[in-house]
Structure 1
């Protein structure tokens, strides 16, 4: 009797990705009822419930999440093995979905892509540039670049370096409003901010020999760092942005850095990918290519 476990895994993952038996079945050439029966047989064989059903949506159980994570890894290993055996020394190929913030993508990652494409012409890239945090599993992202403390999860990470932030403004703005000398001076300035739910309107600053999170105020907020940078260049206020993001503006004089001895703001940046014992060749090739170049850029 043939072993159908790999097929069951593929059907299960398609159901999870599409969120319904009918949508998954259509893509696989199966009826909704046969798709549902296959998942039920899988659950009966395993002796656990993988999916909680309702009239509106499907929700994974804890066992279902574990099965999804391990099944994805096993199937990618199987696919990679067949490609490697069939292709011999052929260069890595396939699709990599990447999530990256707008500033880091535009100023750090995108300039490296021409050389990467030349080195790996058979790898296809799907780039998502957004300053919103996305879930790698639900968005089907292979690699994401994140700044800040890494959460405890099944994700693997590669540390790329430290991101220092600077407070910057245009010379025109400083000529009109004055240059802040202390943290308290920010009370009298327009401070450009972000409109994410996770973004707090506080800047970490030294005041009186101790670190304080000073609340700042302004009349304009935006949903990505590139827009905030442009607003600062236009003279609309002070902005707190990553050093790599404003490096060219500081060198050209479009922006001026202020409160350098007062701002205490540096965080690690990592490349995250879904935790598996062995990443697919295309993922490993991308990380091996980008890691030393991004480390040098951040340093």
Structure 2
């Protein structure tokens, strides 16, 4: 039996429709339907219940999928291991991360990687949603937070720090807040996520008591890149991660208002993590990409 039929079946099961799988692999939905029917005919089992409104796995289909997925994963690992023995790192690497982290941190580090490993193609999925790595066939995710949950392998790239920043133009217009408490008299560009709107936490060091203060939420925005843009344009004061505005601070286009404080919207412990599904063999294309990210992180 051709493994391509199994892969098509698994794709339809994961995505929930022939059309979605067809869009993913760039063929007509009728071609996907024929492949599934061919597989069903070969094994003599109905894998999907089909109605005009929905497509769902039969009990036999669920069992078949459960047993087939490890076989497909094993075949992929064998292919990668053999390829790595005889060729330089190559193939497609699927990576996902948030829109802001992808644009501000990851993308500037890709030219050097591509120059060193031209045979590795990258499929970069930028989204602020948490992606199911196994379900979407993603090789690597870059995530931000205090830690990583789930049955995944996680490697810390670097600790992150948040800074309260604004532009020199805003300081000229509205003055410089002399303390965190003075922020209440200033315009704020506030991230819409929970924690960022309720008040920012300030402390002078680990173990020290935190105080809470924040500017007036005159502009609430759901995207960190847009907050940075508004801050650069003098619209107010913002709380942004150092990886977002490191270049701006170095250039003087943004000012760190309270460099003596640790600042956070929730917990003070936060980091950037490289996360990938656990597997017995990690392909060379993923290993060299991880090495490149680790070296890049040391430059911070």
**TM class, shorter-length:** 0.7 to 0.9
> Aligned-pair distance for 1:27?
4.6
TM-score normalised to structure 2 length: 0.77
List alignment gaps of at least 5 residues for structure 2.
23-28
Instruction: List runs of 5+ in structure 1 lacking aligned partners.
Output: 44-50
The question of whether the paired residues in 2 share the 8 Å contact of 1:144 and 1:271 is answered with yes
Q: Is the 8 A contact 2:81 2:281 kept in 1?
A: no
Q: Root-mean-square deviation (CA), in Å?
A: 3.5
Q: Counterpart in 2 of 1:255?
A: 254
Aligned partner of 1:30 in structure 2 is: 34
Change (3 A) 1:94 1:262: same
Does the CA contact (< 8 Å) of 1:180 and 1:259 recur in 2?
Answer: no
Give aligned pairs, total: 282
1:172-211 to structure 2, matched below 5 A, reads 172-196=169-193, 200-201=196-197, 202-206=199-203, 210-211=209-210
- For residues 149-198 of structure 1, the C-alpha deviation after alignment (integer angstroms, 9 at most, x for no partner) is 333212211111101111100112123223223332222222212345x6
Are the counterparts in 2 of residues 9 and 71 from structure 1 also a CA contact under 8 Å?
no
Q: Give distance in 2, aligned partners of 1:203 and 1:60.
A: 51
CA contact (8 A) 2:18 2:33 kept: no
Q: How does 1:15-164 map to 2 (within 5 A)?
A: 15-20=12-17, 26-28=30-32, 30=34, 32-35=36-39, 41=45, 55-58=53-56, 70-71=70-71, 73-84=73-84, 88-164=85-161
Which residue matches 1:286?
Answer: 289
Report how far residue 5 of structure 1 moved.
9.2
CA drift of 1:96 comes to 1.1
In structure 2, what is the Cα distance between the partners aligned to 1:253 and 1:215? 23
Q: Deviations over 1:120-175 (max 9, x none)?
A: 11111112334443332444322111111333212211111101111100112123
SS in structure 1 at match of 2:102: helix
Conservation of the 8 A alpha-carbon contact between 2:163 and 2:263: no
Q: 1:35 to 1:18 in 2, by over 3 A?
A: farther
